Structure 1
Amino acid sequence: MDILKINQLKKVFSTGAEDLTILHDLNMNVEGGKSTVITGESGSGKSTLLNLIGGMDNLSSGEIYSCGFPIHTMTEKQLTEYRRKSIGLVFQSHYLLKDFSALENIAIPARIAGFDKKKALMKAEELIEKVGLADRKEHFPSQLSGGERQRIALARSLVNDPELILADEPTGNLDEKNSRIVEDILFSLVEEFGKSLLLVTHNLILAERVDKAYHLTGGVLEEK
């Protein structure tokens, strides 16, 4: 069963002088419990597509069904709830809050979703162990390495038990050693918790680890 299905998606940016079509009539699907990758050069529209799936941008035409929700027809309030409960987001930058500890950063989405502090921190404790950083839980982001910060971001993306993980160049800012560590943890957690993964990357080595692959070029998406 597909957890994500996209039909004839089109995204056009209007600059005033002209309309620029970024994505051309895209069709794709992500099977539940599987990992899918979208590769493509910088500027090919990969991040734009992920933002549309995450309900962070509006499509120009077409349909997006994600985790059972018709993203293309939902209100901003409904999209906010969808982002809180149904998807986990991992970006190229970790976006950790500097004044909160590693453990507190993991727990923040759970607190926003309405979990009490004790339950949110218990879940965060479980996840920080999964990413191998239990001994760093009281450290602030400035006291962590780049690879450690990204591992905390991975844990944070899972704290609300989402159905779908959207990962946008999750190893893009890391060196080779830390990239491999983050990759291994990402795929291990997705498998252990039975999540679906949609990964956007230009890292072809990372792309080889998925169940299904697409390539985006010139706004056109093709299955590989």
Structure 2
Amino acid sequence: MAVFIEVKDLSLEFDGVKVLKNINLTINEGEVLGILGRSGSGKTVLMHVLRGVEEYEGISGQVIYHLARCEKCGHIEPPSKIGMNCPACEGVLKAFEADFVKLSIHDPHRRDITKRIAIMLQRTFALYGDDMVIANVVNSLTEIGVSTEDAMGKAVDLLEKVQLSHRMMHVARDLSGGEKQRVVLARQLVRDPMLLIADEPTGTLDPRTAQVVHDVIDKAVRDYNMTMVITSHWCDVIEQLADKAIVLEDGAIVSEGSPEKIAKEFMNLVCAVEKKPDVEVGDTLIKVDHLVKKYISVNRGVVYAVNDISFDVKEGEIFGLAGTSGAGKTTTSEILMGIVQPTSGEVKVRVGDEWVDMKKPGPECRGRAVKYMGILHQEYGLYNHRTIIDNLTESIGIDLPYELAVRKAINTLISTGFTEEKAKSILSKMSDEISEGERHRVALAQILMKEPVIIVMDEPTGTMDPITKMEVTKSILKAREKMGDTFVIVSHDMDFLEEICDRVALMRNGKIVDVGAPAAVLSKLTDKERMEAAAGS
């Protein structure tokens, strides 16, 4: 195979912090390179350098594309086409090299190359949300000069290639995440790409949907004879799709080889978190006694979302509310936070040495406890157009002198698992410039900045991949260790709850089945509940 991309001694520095360190890499034409790495390892930055649409001041080394180029019309093809006739004119394709480190982003040669590079990102779908699926693909075709008359037929062909012809009349914003990714791929295939850069394209999708997207990507790569670079936290994705793989750790390549070998080494590198079995918890902090919440439904009559439950939570404890959808765990957590008023029963939270009745509103009752409580929802939201330091201060109503705010932010980020160097380096970045795992830790830091005593987390792992999930686990354990906070975690992710919690309450049909050690309690799940929980996570 012909050499397509050569990366030589590539280093990149932001604000004095090296994010890529002496990267040396060769990617052959038609090859699929898999990149494994933890959040913040440099995967996404490397992908953006390869994509070539951004210019970096602190960059050194070389990123050389070996190509075939027509001197007559400027058409670009992969290196295997050297010596062949140009498909765009009657010229001959000749050997050509372009170094993305040396060439400006305004250089026409570089722009010609980047037009033949396709990109799929984890969360950025880049679709016209109000337009139909077919219109999204037609728009991409007309943008490159295809007539409207021809574009419709080509768009249908492309949607068939990505197995989405049954959704062509749907509005784009109404599609599922997996369907949106396939529309993105169809739009990218319009340009007949030489290279596909797929940066965690299924990172937030459930395993079944992710597999559909992986199959579509794999087929597109083969059908279009593309070279692909794909990052993932899922080792099996790299084993399934890649021809060779690397592990990135702290901006450097620490291993390279077959996907199977690299996957094994990566899992050893990020071995499972072990929770200390001898964590000491304090006295009771939350007391729930005979709690009931019922609703009146026109169709179903009286519905008990929570049906006479009792439990307590100790100070410094990580307490889990487990169960499948509809078990009553979310309603219970909302009552704990004072968001939902119970029908009957007692919920009390200790503030200092005094007990606060959460059923009674007002600043001297419920309000007194709520100000020491924080909640992190599954779909947490950072302010995308604000820096991380702004997200941790002004955006959440914290008004401190700048130097003190920075110091407090760094200390809080460290408490969620960042190193001091990494915490300092991300303060000036926007939220979309850091990884998914890092964003989750910043979202937890947002809560911790307000100095809560109790933190309620609603489905914190969602559809996360195993590595990001492990980073979340570490951040919670680290925050508990550093801050001494108490956590109530609502989740149907039974493996996560068993790993992180000190105790778990298993809920079923609004009632608590059992409370106690995670392994013992979760062993009482039925086969049906286990299947539903696995499908949900």
Q: TM over 0.5: same fold?
A: yes
Residue of 120, 127, 143 corresponding to 1:90: 120
Distance 1:132 1:96 in 2: 17
Q: Which residue of 2 aligns with 1:218?
A: 250
Q: Does 1:34 align with 2:19?
A: no
The secondary structure found in structure 1 opposite 2:21 is strand
CA contact (8 A) 2:5 2:64 kept: yes
CA contact (8 A) 1:107 1:159 kept: no
Q: Quick one: structure 1 residues 140 and 81, their matched pair in 2 at CA, closer, same or farther if it must change by over 3 Å?
A: farther
CA contact (8 A) 1:53 1:66 kept: no
CA contact (8 A) 2:53 2:105 kept: no
Q: Which residue of 1 aligns with 2:46?
A: 49
Greater RCO (CA < 8 Å, at least 6 residues apart): 1
Q: Which runs of 5+ in 2 are unaligned?
A: 68-97, 258-537
The secondary structure found in structure 1 opposite 2:62 is strand
Distance 1:97 1:181 in 2: 23
Residue of 100, 115, 125 corresponding to 1:71: 100
Residue of 189, 200, 203 corresponding to 1:169: 200
Taking structure 2 as the reference length, what is the TM-score of the superposition? 0.39
* 1:213 Cα deviation after fit: 0.4
Distance 2:145 2:104 in 1: 20
Name the larger-Rg structure: 2
Q: Which residue of 2 aligns with 1:131?
A: 162
CA contact (8 A) 1:167 1:200 kept: yes
CA contact (8 A) 1:67 1:163 kept: no
CA contact (8 A) 1:67 1:164 kept: no
CA contact (8 A) 1:166 1:197 kept: yes
The secondary structure found in structure 2 opposite 1:76 is coil
* 1:13 Cα deviation after fit: 0.3
Residue by residue, what CA displacement relative to the aligned partner does 1:32-66 show, whole Å, maximum 9, x if unpaired?
11211111001101000000111133351011123
Q: Which amino acid aligns with 2:23?
A: L
Q: Does 1:104 align with 2:101?
A: no
* 1:175 Cα deviation after fit: 0.6
* 1:116 Cα deviation after fit: 3.0
Q: Which residue of 2 aligns with 1:149?
A: 180
Aligned residues: 219
CA contact (8 A) 1:214 1:223 kept: yes
Stretch deviating more after TM superposition (162-171 or 72-81): 72-81
Q: Does 1:114 align with 2:145?
A: yes
* 1:181 Cα deviation after fit: 0.4
CA contact (8 A) 2:20 2:251 kept: yes
CA contact (8 A) 2:41 2:248 kept: yes
* 1:67 Cα deviation after fit: 5.5
Q: Which runs of 5+ in 1 are unaligned?
A: none
Identity among equivalent positions (%) equals 30
Distance 1:193 1:112 in 2: 20
Distance 1:116 1:66 in 2: 31
Distance 2:41 2:184 in 1: 25
The secondary structure found in structure 1 opposite 2:30 is coil
Counterparts of 1:186-197 in structure 2, within 5 Å, are: 186-197=217-228
Distance 1:20 1:117 in 2: 49
Q: Which residue of 2 aligns with 1:182?
A: 213
CA contact (8 A) 2:142 2:151 kept: yes
Q: Which residue of 1 aligns with 2:11?
A: 10
Q: Which amino acid aligns with 1:65?
A: I
CA contact (8 A) 2:156 2:165 kept: yes
Q: Does 1:21 align with 2:23?
A: no
> Once superposed, what is the RMSD of the aligned Cα atoms?
1.7
Residue by residue, what CA displacement relative to the aligned partner does 1:145-186 show, whole Å, maximum 9, x if unpaired?
221111111222211101000000010121111000001111
The secondary structure found in structure 2 opposite 1:27 is strand
Residue by residue, what CA displacement relative to the aligned partner does 1:84-119 show, whole Å, maximum 9, x if unpaired?
2x1011111222121222122234443333333334
Stretch deviating more after TM superposition (127-136 or 55-64): 55-64
Q: Quick one: structure 1 residues 114 and 73, their matched pair in 2 at CA, closer, same or farther if it must change by over 3 Å?
A: farther
* 1:223 Cα deviation after fit: 1.2
Q: Which residue of 2 aligns with 1:58?
A: 55
* 1:81 Cα deviation after fit: 3.6
CA contact (8 A) 1:133 1:148 kept: yes
Residue of 217, 238, 245 corresponding to 1:207: 238
Q: Quick one: structure 1 residues 83 and 138, their matched pair in 2 at CA, closer, same or farther if it must change by over 3 Å?
A: farther
- Structure 1: 4+ residue segments shifted above 4 A: none
Q: Quick one: structure 1 residues 168 and 108, their matched pair in 2 at CA, closer, same or farther if it must change by over 3 Å?
A: farther
CA contact (8 A) 2:9 2:24 kept: yes
The secondary structure found in structure 1 opposite 2:211 is helix
Q: Quick one: structure 1 residues 46 and 108, their matched pair in 2 at CA, closer, same or farther if it must change by over 3 Å?
A: farther
The secondary structure found in structure 2 opposite 1:208 is helix
The secondary structure found in structure 1 opposite 2:180 is helix
Stretch deviating more after TM superposition (117-126 or 143-152): 117-126
